[in-house]
Structure 1
Amino acid sequence: MQNYQAPEGLLVDKVILVTGASDGIGKEAAKSYAKLGATVILHGRDTNKLEKVYDEIVEAGLPQPAIIPLNLVNASTEQFKSLAETIQTELGRLDGILHNAGMLNELTPIEFTNSETWHQIMQVNINAVYLLTQACLPILREAPNASIIMTSSGVGRKGRAYWGPYAVSKFAIEGFVQVLADELEGSTIRVNAINPGATRTQMRAKAYPAEDQKHLATPEQIIPTYLYLMGDDSLEVNGQSIDAQQK
Structure 2
Amino acid sequence: MTSTPATSFTHDQIRTYQAQPNSLADKIILVTGAGSGIGRVAALTYAQHGATVLLLGKTTSKLEEVYDEIEALGGPQPAILPLNLASASYTEMQQLENLISKEFGRLDGILHNAGILGELTPLEMYDIDTFAKVMQVNFTAVFMLTQALLPLVKAATSGSVVFTSSTVGTHPRAFWGAYALSKQGVEGMSDIFTQETQATTTLRFNCINPGGTRTNMRAHAFPGENPMSLKTPEDIMPGYLFFMSDDSIGVRGQVVALQPK
Please state if 1:70 is matched with 2:79: no
Segments of 4+ in structure 1 off by > 2 A?
Answer: none
Instruction: Describe how 1:73-92 pairs up with structure 2 within 5 A.
Output: 73-92=86-105
Q: Would you say how many aligned residue pairs link Structure 1 and Structure 2? A: 247
- Secondary structure in 2 aligned to 1:141? helix
Q: In structure 2, what is the equivalent of residue 209 of structure 1? A: 223
Partner in structure 2 of residue 131 of structure 1 = 144
State the secondary structure of the residue aligned to 1:87: helix
> Contact 1:149/1:192 (CA < 8 Å) preserved in 2?
yes
1:184 corresponds to which of 188, 191, 197: 197
Where does structure 1 lack aligned partners over 5 or more consecutive residues?
A: none
Q: Measure how far apart 1:30 and its partner are.
A: 0.4
Alpha carbon RMSD of aligned pairs, Å?
0.8
The DSSP-based 3-state class of the residue aligned with 1:104 is coil
1:152-207 superposed Cα distances (whole Å, 9 cap, x missing partner): 00000111111000000000011001000111113131000000000000000010
Deviations 1:199-231 (A, max 9, x none): 000000010111101000100000100000110
In 2, Cα distance between equivalents of 1:31 and 1:245? 21
Contiguous gaps of at least 5 residues in structure 2: 1-13
Q: In percent, how many aligned pairs have the same letter?
A: 53
What amino acid sits opposite 1:39 in the alignment?
A: T
CA deviation string 1:98-134 (max 9, x = no partner): 0000010121111211100000000000101100000
Give the partner amino acid of 1:134.
Q
With normalisation by structure 1, the TM-score equals: 0.98
Measure the CA separation in 2 of the matches of 1:30 and 1:223: 10
Structure-2-length-normalised TM-score: 0.93
The equivalent of 1:241 in structure 2 is: 255
Give SS of 1:245's match.
coil
Q: 1:65: Cα distance to partner? A: 0.2
**1:117 aligned counterpart, secondary structure:** helix
Amino acid at match of 1:163: W
Partner of 1:3: 16
Alignment partner, residue 40 of structure 1: 53
- Residue 11 of structure 1 contacts residue 37 of structure 1 at CA under 8 Å; is this kept in 2? yes
Q: Confirm or deny: 8 A CA contact 1:2 1:246 kept in the other structure.
A: no
The equivalent residue for 2:39 is: 26
